[in-house]
Chains A and B, each alone.
Chain A
């Protein structure tokens, strides 16, 4: 008689504990909703047909689609030179944090360095209390909040970004 652990891993008869089980400690927050009754179709019992090549549907796994793209940054210097970053409607955080919308791999860039917000057809760049400041075009004093226009240059840490919009 085959032996399986609680996770359905096949075990040798002599094993007391499954050596393959892993735990991350992660708990899915799903709560079971109420049960509804539904009829199941009667399955057919005819001779096996040839091997199927079933249709498939591709589905985006991200539930919340990002808002529309309204502009771009292009890195002009640094390790990411040539890379482009999409700017979406609403708020776009620029920083070195893994969850920054525009993620820059530069040690002089703060985790959440600056934010670019698009609202009512205007772009506003706001410094988020970054350690090394945010600069626009030829400016030598760090900005607090500034409106960006097409082709403006933004400097954060060692990275220079060119701003493009429709």
Chain B
């Protein structure tokens, strides 16, 4: 794939230290056609699937492929609308696939997608994978987890520190493919600047590596080196889940 100037991209996935299967899936896409690129820009997606009998792997793969295909196939829709309808299509596609393959019933996935058109960012998000923005030496979590503990933190019942080690921290309140599903979308586009760093990851990373550690590595190392180092840290600390991350530096 040809990646046009404008971003420095790196990504990495790792099965971790305990799982047999990697149920995460991800993509980065730019259309081949320059005219399509001018209208749709770039897209990066991270999905973390769940469900037995290969369900997790299937759900995350369908999510990534369906979001990407829908997004780039609908030239008439603006970025926000294309992302929103792409998520709806992917949600329906996962449900349809489990209807046809009853052994996969109940499968679902997180899905975090970023579309960059020019210097404007839009995102769509469901589940507990995350999008971070690093700018001027600070890191900000752009997406909010759809998880029970995130809700407890919002309600002021537990602290973020307690949430990080909470036994129920893997329980999601929304997932693509599972009814009733809802997703968050950026209200207005986010303006990007040179040297901004976007970091997208599954909970296999953010469950074991702190925001400050992501900041320290992603802002000092080249994207690929940062990916390798962050995955190494997560594995050194147990690597309980699959680990996937993408780093995009705006140049």
Contacts and interface: CB of A to CB of B under 8 A. Distances in A.
Contact of A43 (B120, B126, B182): B120
A98 B98 contact: yes
Interface residues of A, number: 44
A59 B75 contact: no
A48 B140 contact: no
Contacts of A56: 125, 144, 184-187
Contacts of B136: 48, 50-51
Contact of A24 (B65, B78, B120, B188): B65
Q: Is the interface of A mostly helix, strand, loop or mixed?
A: loop
A7 interface: yes
Interface stretch (B22-30, B160-168, B199-207): B22-30
A32 B180 CA distance: 28
Chain B contact residues (Cβ within 8 angstroms of A): what range? 35 or more
Given A2-B9, A98-B98, A24 B61 contact: yes
Interface stretch (B151-159, B189-197, B233-241): B189-197
Given A26-B65, A32-B74, A43-B119, A62 B180 contact: yes
Interface in A111-142: none
A72 B26 CA distance: 41
B37 interface: no
Contacts of B61: 22-24, 26
B159 to A, nearest CB: 19
Given A28-B69, A33-B74, A98-B102, A61 B181 contact: yes
A57 B184 CA distance: 5
A9 B27 contact: yes
Contacts of A36: 75-76
B73 A30 contact: yes
A166 interface: no
A51 B140 CA distance: 7
Contacts of B190: 52, 54
Given A26-B66, A43-B119, A54-B188, A9 B10 contact: no
Interface of B: 1, 3, 9-13, 25-30, 39, 44, 57-58, 61-62, 65-66, 69-70, 73-76, 78, 84, 87-89, 91-93, 97-99, 102, 105-106, 117-120, 125-126, 133, 135-136, 138-140, 142, 144, 176, 179-188, 190-191, 193, 195-196, 224, 227
